[in-house]
Amino acid sequence: MNTASIPSVSAGSLDMGIGGMTCASCVARVEKALKKVPGVQSVAVNLATESARIAYAPTEQMEARLRRAVRDAGYEPVAADAAIDAPDASPWAGFMPVAIGLALSAPLVLPMLGNLVGGHWMLPAWLQFALATLVQFILGARFYKAGWHAARNRAGNMDLLVALGTTAGWLLSMWLWLNAAPGVMPHLYFEGSAVVVTMVLLGKWLETRAKRQTTSAIRALHGLRPATAHLIGLDGEVDVPVAEVLVGDRLVVKPGERLPTDGVLQEGQTQVDESMLTGEPLPVVKDPGALLTGGSINGDGRIVMQVKAVGSETVLAQIIRLVEDAQAAKAPIQRLVDQVSAVFVPVVLAIALVTLLAWWLTGHPFEVAVINAVTVLVIACPCALGLATPAAIMAGTGVAAKHGILIKDAQALELAHKVDLVAFDKTGTLTVGQPRLTAFQPVAGGDEMTLLGAAASLQSGSEHPLARAVVAAARERGLVIPAPVTVRSVPGRGTEGELRAADDSEAAQPAYLIGSLRWMDELGVDWRALAAPAATLQDSGATVSLLARRRAAASAENNEGIEVLALLAFADEPKPGAQAALAALRARGIKTVMISGDNQGAAEAMARRLGLRPESGEVRAEVLPGDKAAQVLALKRDGHTVAMVGDGVNDAPALTAADVGMAMANVGGGGSDVAMHAAGITLMRGDPALVAAALDISDRTVAKIRQNLFWAFAYNVAGIPLAALGFLNPVVAGAAMAMSSVSVMSNALLLKRWKPKSLKTK
């Protein structure tokens, strides 16, 4: 994978941190404020990451306008990566306000507990007032500030509900105290307002602590970047900041150090641990000329590397960007949450007012009516709704990245769990992708070495795996391979070109052709002399091509006079574990199909080695590169939700056509940038087992999203009526509201324990 693998954010896109958001209603409010800015095209605000991604038409001072819009809405615009780049905080960071609140609230709660055992520990009214007021208006000042901003913008959020509810409880206690008869100790509710504020603060602290864990994957990736590099300069080896390293520099990497950037190994041999990038647990042997990836760990060899990419162009930077993109995106299921959140707070305020009037007008004491209305306001916090989806997506995409599965966006994550058919490109995906020339048979009277040299010359400029196999075979036999005079590639069929004469003269030479049997048939070439060995080789699973030459009288427009010269047979090997990977998919109830450009016999022979069943339609052979997308569309028309797995440039249309595209890459360079750009999921190493793993983490993440949404909705559906009917009090409501968010975050964090089954069994 090189520098173009993962696109960077365009000039018309901005990531911004949003400080002060507390619930799903805040998300809706920030999005509404940003969308009002002229030129903004789309906005996605994420509560779990406390960030926004804005796409806009480039306009003067747009970034300043966006920041002003956030501030005017009552929130604080901050750097998008402030939370990520901040040093790791203590587990108890930010707990001081909670500790003070607990200390001040405890004396108010103890008399309630004393009543349960027959004790009478009620504090004097003035002391209750003093303790509760400190909690209400000093520790709870943040709720008033944020609630005021929401009210001023004709919106509502969690802070407004908490501020209104606790203030109502405090005012009711003041009214009862000041209007009590002399010498009478009224029942006050100061403890309710104080405990609610404290419990909400505790819940937000626990939530923030859990959020830090959901961003651990991004933090770990950021932590892979070393601060300095050992540069070989004019004065010898010197240490310089990695930010000052330039493309072309030569760097020394000592044993056990992280590679500072991407490059090529020039001197030395070593083994490199790439597990944090690819999920591959075993070190990879690196010889001179091998590609090196920044962030991986050098083994026991001192090496010298030449820098090929720096900064945002490195593989590590692009992987970080891809994971951040996925975590910033909204899943389609989030639309339901957004619709509910937009009207949630006004509906809750209406229910609280109805509760107050209903209890009061039915003859109950006014203080009872107020307490029940307060309970409705406190318990109806939409925090859990706002965190349900993004928390699960962050945890799922983070743990997937740890094991070499990069999920490009939330939509791909959500669609992947619906996949019931996986289509694989054959070469490089299910097979090793390094075919060998296993047979070269000239026609009678032909000179094998001369013809092999001609075939190698014609193929010397191509990067096709079969072309590389021809060149490698010629070099193994010590042949000199001159560059061709002209070459024309015929996609999906073969290559045609003119070669240099034996005496290296400028005389025009007949054109040579090398390509598939289908192409030769289309050209009307008579290859009956090689039909028998071709059939035998195809039945054994080999891919067969022919070398031919146009006679002097023939031309590109006139195919008469083309003579066949030799037969070439190529063989590839299945990837280790490919058969087990296909079996794992079938065990999940997922159908598998192999798409290949090989002839039917060769494709079926390889399919059987992989455990596929050609008789059941699991092989699509003789498919031209441009027709792969049509095959995928045909499978979709049959009613399947299709995932397409490929690794080549010609796989990009098929990856785009599929419901979910999976590009198989390799940080060592074995992957297509175009394929990765077209795919929704990138598998960072060429292991087919990652396909089942990607579908599994998708299943589990979507399950967590649904569980979270169910409990978030169920909590409010059950809690609000219970509060309105008087079965709860503000203290219990505050505790339940705080724990609802914590439970959603904790449930999402269970995804961090996920491992691909292939690793569980090791």
In angstroms, the CA 189 to CA 172 distance is 7
Residue 90's alpha-carbon distances to 85, 87, 94, 198, 606, in angstroms, are 15, 9, 9, 21, 56
Token pair 């297509």 in the structure block, residue? 672
Contact 193, 173 (CB under 8 A): yes
DSSP class of residue 258?
B
- Rounded to 5°, the CA angle 593-595-597 comes to 160
Q: Is 236 left (phi over 0), alpha (psi -120 to 50) or beta?
A: left
**What H or E segment, with its residue span, contains residue 514?**
strand 511-516
Say which of 273, 325, 425, 673 is annotated catalytic: 425
Token representation of residue 300: 């026991």
- Spell out the residues 6+ positions from residue 390 whose beta carbon is closer than 8 angstroms to its own: 46, 47, 48, 49, 327, 330, 334
Give CA 35 to chain center in angstroms: 26
Selection from 668, 670, 689 nearest residue 755 by Cα: 689
Token pair 């209305």 in the structure block, residue? 373
Question: Three-state SS for 304?
Answer: strand
Q: Compute how many other C-beta atoms are within 10 angstroms of the C-beta atom of residue 57.
A: 10
In angstroms, the CA 179 to CA 173 distance is 10
**Number of C-alpha atoms within 13 angstroms, CB side, residue 500?**
13
Q: Compute how many other C-beta atoms are within 10 angstroms of the C-beta atom of residue 156.
A: 26
In angstroms, the CA 59 to CA 202 distance is 43
In angstroms, the CA 350 to CA 365 distance is 20
Selection from 733, 686, 752, 759 nearest residue 169 by Cα: 733
Question: Three-state SS for 21?
Answer: coil
Strands 297-298 and 228-233: unpaired
**Number of C-alpha atoms within 13 angstroms, CB side, residue 646?**
34
User: Does the annotation count 673 as an active-site position?
Assistant: no
In angstroms, the CA 338 to CA 340 distance is 5
In angstroms, the CA 277 to CA 274 distance is 5
Contact 614, 594 (CB under 8 A): no
Token representation of residue 73: 């809405």
Token pair 């090529």 in the structure block, residue? 264
In angstroms, the CA 595 to CA 646 distance is 10
The sheet that has 297-298: what strands, in order across it? Answer: 284-286, 270-273, 297-298
In angstroms, the CA 308 to CA 291 distance is 9
Q: How many residues does the chain have?
A: 762
Residue 4 phi, psi dihedral angles, 5° rounding: -100, 10
In angstroms, the CA 669 to CA 277 distance is 13
End-to-end CA distance of the chain: 28
In angstroms, the CA 538 to CA 438 distance is 12
Residue 157 phi, psi dihedral angles, 5° rounding: -155, -175
Positions marked catalytic: 425
